[in-house]
Structure 1
């Protein structure tokens, strides 16, 4: 059954953006070649916030991707770079990437905060600004 993953990351300071972009390019290369990856996208939002949306053939394929390569290297850095981070996952019947509005709605209704070392006041409460 197709599996969807959506993440939302807000970079807490301008000084982290260059390194974040380098890691983003590395993980984009990795995901494009990852077994089980079907489709995906990256959406820059306001205030140094970035959304990812990926579609996989299974949850296992997505887990294999996030625990290896460039993604595995980037994850600990994001804990320092971000003051807000969240994730939502779900199974769906069709192998079609959902739209950004659907991804945002799922994040609001089913998302959970990820670990960050310097959380904003809105992080734990999942008080997300509306996408631009």
Structure 2
């Protein structure tokens, strides 16, 4: 990939009983991302169906990989497999360091995304057939 690397994740909590634990780990990952060398910008979106999106812009693939394989993110990933019923990711390169729009992000996820391994996948997981959902909160990170 050349240019800036865009990384998008979508994670849907399968039960409200896991939500507090997920949110604790999400806060730790946000703290890690803000300190990460090569992190440019990002955005978060929480949908009404308990799906959580992250979009992050990175200087290069090496910076993104260092974040994904280290610290809080590395510690959280095994737990996400148990707590989610839908999880997916997509990456692409773009010339600018700006955060893509949510419509572009969602369209890319549907077209180019890949499901992540889960212990309890829901019926929409494998085909990325996630439902349209209104955002209940969106913020820049």
TM-score, normalising length: structure 1: 0.98
Counterpart position of 1:47: 49
Shift of 1:128: 1.5
1:13 equivalent in structure 2:
15
Aligned residue for 2:82, secondary structure, equals helix
Instruction: Report deviation, 1:41.
Output: 1.3
Q: How many residues are matched?
A: 132
Q: CA deviation at 1:46?
A: 2.0
Q: For 1:33 and 1:98, how far apart are their aligned partners in 2?
A: 21
**1:76-123: CA deviation from partner (whole Å, max 9, x where unpaired):** 000000000000000011111111111101101100000100000111
Counterpart of 2:129 in structure 1 is: 127
> Which of 73, 86, 91 is equivalent to 1:71?
73
Structure 2: distance between partners of 1:46 and 1:37 = 28
Deviation at 1:59, TM superposition (A): 1.1
2 CA distance for matches of 1:8 and 1:108?
Answer: 11
Q: What residue in structure 1 maps to residue 6 of structure 2?
A: 4
Residues 49 and 133, structure 2, Cα contact 8 Å, conserved in 1: no
2:31 matched residue in structure 1: 29
- Return 5+ residue gaps in structure 1 as ranges: none
Partner of 2:137: none
Structure 2's unaligned 5+ residue stretches are: 135-141
Aligned to 1:61: 63
CA RMSD after TM alignment: 0.7
